[in-house]
Structure 1
Amino acid sequence: MTAPAAAGETTGNKIDILVLAGSRAANDPVAAAAGVAYKCLAPVAGRTMLLRVVDALLAWPGTGRIGLVLDDPSTIDSLDELAPLIAAGRLVTIPARATPAESVRAAASEYLSPPLLITTGDHPLLKPEWLTRVVAEAEQGNYDVAAALARETTIRSRFPESRRTYLKFSDGPASGCNLFVVRTERGLEAIAFWRRVEQERKKPWRMARKVGLGLLFRYLLGRLSSGAAMAYLSARLELRAGLVFLDDAEAAVDVDKPDDLALVERIIAARDLARAGVA
């Protein structure tokens, strides 16, 4: 495998980016603490969280159109910086569906089309170089769909007290980075599968039928590797699914609770000091 492209470079044409910025639950703790209607509007180190995500996307040369999935398009009326992007057709608002998977499918059929890069509106630490890495490795692996993960060892070495949700693979636990690439129409089948699993998430016996009882037991017993999981998904959906492991712990830090927000603000403060040559 050849080395990934350097930060700021892409290996192909510009691609559309979908930002999932809808609310998954009422009374979001981050929104409540910030006194805003939606989490993506919460200030992070003095700048609106969603604008920080858009900043990173605009700083990446590979960005095409940006689709913002929102519960209500008026959510961003107060963000004057986005108006020129909307007027130029560079940014489009997309009504959120009942689940993230449904939102992705709707966006891909009505507004944007693969190849698509998908991230979330609560990822204010997003860096352009992560986008480059994920897209490059997805291309090199000829994947229809790929997801970015960070290994637990990478995260804990940097943030030992941070609480994250880990996938317990036999080759090492890993946490999601809210970053996906859907390179082909076939890759959208993985999103449809995700939707079906989402619908059964509170009914384990039905979920087992979706993913396979044997696979579920292997995972629960800690005997399922990340490679085997992707091989199963690829065979089940008749596509090529892959994982991209990022070696930056910040990639796994999104904002789900006020503690996360405090951590993100400390990280941004350290970044700013480093840029100023103080650190």
Structure 2
Amino acid sequence: MVDAVVLAGSTNNGPLKECSPARHEALIPIGNKTMVEHVVDALLKARNVNRVLIIGPVDELSGLAFDSRTSTAASCGGILENIEAGLEKLPGEKRILLVTSDIPLLTPQAVDDFLGLCGDMSGDLYYPVIGKAVVESKFPGTTRTYVKLKEGTFTGGNLFLLNPAVFKKCVENGREIINLRKSPIGLCRLLGLKFVVKFLMRSLTLREAEEKVSQLLGGIKGVVVISKHPEVGVDVDKPGDFELALKTIGDIPRPCRAGFNPPKTSG
């Protein structure tokens, strides 16, 4: 079994402001529970998850009903800082499951399937991708970002299985990628011409992408797995996703109005 860290520190200052006045995205209600509660419930019901640590607004999280296997810690910056804070709270663990709090459609079966795909967990970083046809068969009309590779068209998931021992190495090497994200020329130099050409020609394979990411992150052992559970990749970050989640979970969809100014909350 593994412990999980749920990243719930994002403030609600983007498109989802049209849907809820909650100060943090994780605390936006979907049906009778908040987004983070849906995620935590799925994790706790999974056979292969032990404890769950939520990194986010502790005062607001304390008002939610979680069982004894759940704990919280304060958010302390961006996503990388919050991952590091979570890893520090769970010392000695050989592998940690990282989960974003914006996938309220997550199911225990999807979690267990992903962990099963990780096999003996000898890799340093496992990352799921989901085929476009799989997503659209269960959630027709949903809009996701897809990448076309030789094996098919995929979107990324929001679960990661990480070896804590390589996290700092990943961060150090990953900063260059982040710094170059708006420089096509710089990225091409970093990735290599052959890699870029194969990607543009849609002849790049999953294994080649896996090897390149592993190399760029300092020579770690990264592993891409193909999930058949679209719930791991359907995140809620815009009004259309919010309405899809409401409909799927069973509440009546209510449209988010462009330009809507939610009432201010106290505190």
TM-score, normalised by the number of residues in structure 2: 0.81
Deviations 1:209-247 (A, max 9, x none): 443343233223322111111122334533321112111
Verify: 1:224 aligned to 2:204, yes or no.
yes
Name which of 42, 61, 85 aligns with 1:76: 61
Match of 1:29 in 2: 15
Match of 2:230 in 1: 249
Deviations 1:38-74 (A, max 9, x none): 111111022111111111111123223322222x332
Name which of 155, 161, 179 aligns with 2:141: 161
Q: 1:190 to 1:217 in 2, by over 3 A?
A: farther
Matches within 5 A, 1:56-75: 56-70=42-56, 72-75=57-60
Segments of 5+ residues of structure 1 without an aligned counterpart are 1-13, 271-279
Distance across 2 between alignment mates of 1:47 and 1:28: 21
Question: Does the CA-based 8 Å contact 2:18-2:239 persist in structure 1?
Answer: no
Matches within 5 A, 1:53-132: 53-70=39-56, 72-79=57-64, 81-82=65-66, 85=68, 90-98=70-78, 100-109=79-88, 111-112=90-91, 113-132=93-112
> What is the identity percentage for the equivalent residue pairs of Structure 1 and Structure 2?
26
Match of 1:268 in 2: 249
Match of 1:151 in 2: 131
Question: Does the CA-based 8 Å contact 1:187-1:239 persist in structure 2?
Answer: no
Higher helix share: 1
Match of 1:47 in 2: 33
Question: Does the CA-based 8 Å contact 1:123-1:253 persist in structure 2?
Answer: yes
Distance across 2 between alignment mates of 1:115 and 1:256: 28
Distance across 2 between alignment mates of 1:154 and 1:232: 26
Secondary structure of the residue that 1:174 maps to in structure 2? Answer: strand
- Of 115-124 and 217-226, the range deviating more from structure 2: 217-226
Match of 2:239 in 1: 258
Distance across 1 between alignment mates of 2:139 and 2:49: 30
Match of 1:201 in 2: 181
Q: 1:261 to 1:140 in 2, by over 3 A?
A: same
Secondary structure of the residue that 2:158 maps to in structure 1? Answer: strand
Distance across 2 between alignment mates of 1:57 and 1:227: 29
Distance across 1 between alignment mates of 2:161 and 2:146: 20
Deviation of 1:106 after TM superposition, in Å, equals 4.0
Deviations 1:137-165 (A, max 9, x none): 21347322111111012112233311101
Distance across 1 between alignment mates of 2:89 and 2:229: 34
Deviation of 1:207 after TM superposition, in Å, equals 3.1
Question: Does the CA-based 8 Å contact 2:54-2:73 persist in structure 1?
Answer: yes
Q: 1:211 to 1:156 in 2, by over 3 A?
A: same
Q: 1:102 to 1:226 in 2, by over 3 A?
A: farther
Task: In structure 1, give the amino acid aligned to 2:250.
Answer: A
Deviations 1:9-62 (A, max 9, x none): xxxxx2111111121x76222244212111111110221111111111111232
Distance across 1 between alignment mates of 2:238 and 2:187: 27
Segments of 5+ residues of structure 2 without an aligned counterpart are 252-267
Deviation of 1:134 after TM superposition, in Å, equals 1.7
Task: In structure 1, give the amino acid aligned to 2:128.
Answer: A
Question: Does the CA-based 8 Å contact 2:107-2:231 persist in structure 1?
Answer: no
Deviations 1:89-114 (A, max 9, x none): x413142423x234323432454544
Question: Does the CA-based 8 Å contact 1:134-1:181 persist in structure 2?
Answer: no
TM-score, normalised by the number of residues in structure 1: 0.78
Question: Does the CA-based 8 Å contact 1:31-1:41 persist in structure 2?
Answer: no
Matches within 5 A, 1:160-199: 160-183=140-163, 185-186=165-166, 189-190=169-170, 192-199=172-179
RMSD over aligned Cα, in angstroms? 2.6
